[in-house]
Amino acid sequence: MKKLLLSFIIMGMVATAAIAQEQKDVKDINKERTEWNKKVKDELNLTTEQTEKYDALCKEYDAKIDKVMQDATLSKDAQKEKKMALKKEKQSKLFEFLTPEQQTTYKGLIEEKMKEKQMAPKGY
């Protein structure tokens, strides 16, 4: 009986740790998104109208990406593939209301972000 109780306590601790890690990951993702969106708005000098469209676009696509990332039926590779397709789709819609200069600046920001990811140590 004591072993059974001990087993339940250990399983509870493990489950709690897993949930806490998942919540931390969601907070980190949301923080990264907020920082990225602020950087994009600042660097591109978006107008009020563009900012409203950008915010709506981000809200729509962040929800779609979150849904893909939570789909346990997809492999990690399939999730990544769908996520990249959604990002490309989002970018094409974004470019519909950005000026050519803003598009160039945005592409530069994306390249910079990709370089930073490549330089980051694995596991981070």
Tokens of residue 86, six digits: 């959604």
Query: Could you read off the pLDDT of 49-83 as tens digits, one per residue?
Result: 999 999 999 999 999 999 999 999 999 999 999 99
Listed residue (18, 75, 51, 86) closest to 10, CA to CA: 18
pTM of this structure: 0.72
Whether residue 60 is contained in a domain is answered as: yes
E strand or H helix at 85, and its extent? helix 76-94
Q: Which domain holds residue 82?
A: 54-117
Query: Could you read off the pLDDT of 104-114 as tens digits, one per residue?
Result: 999 999 999 98
Whether residue 3 is contained in a domain is answered as: no
Coil, helix or strand at residue 120: coil
Task: Report the alpha-carbon distance of residue 96 to residue 117 in Å, rounded.
Answer: 27
Residues, the chain: 124
Whether residue 15 is contained in a domain is answered as: no
Whether residue 33 is contained in a domain is answered as: no
Whether residue 78 is contained in a domain is answered as: yes
Q: For residue 23, what pLDDT is reported? A: 46
Whether residue 108 is contained in a domain is answered as: yes
Tokens of residue 96, six digits: 């519909």
The amino acid that residue 65 corresponds to is: I
Whether residue 69 is contained in a domain is answered as: yes
Total domains present in the chain: 1
Whether residue 6 is contained in a domain is answered as: no
Task: Report the alpha-carbon distance of residue 16 to residue 81 in Å, rounded.
Answer: 31
Tokens of residue 28, six digits: 């980190």
The answer to whether 64 and 85 have CB atoms below 8 angstroms apart is no
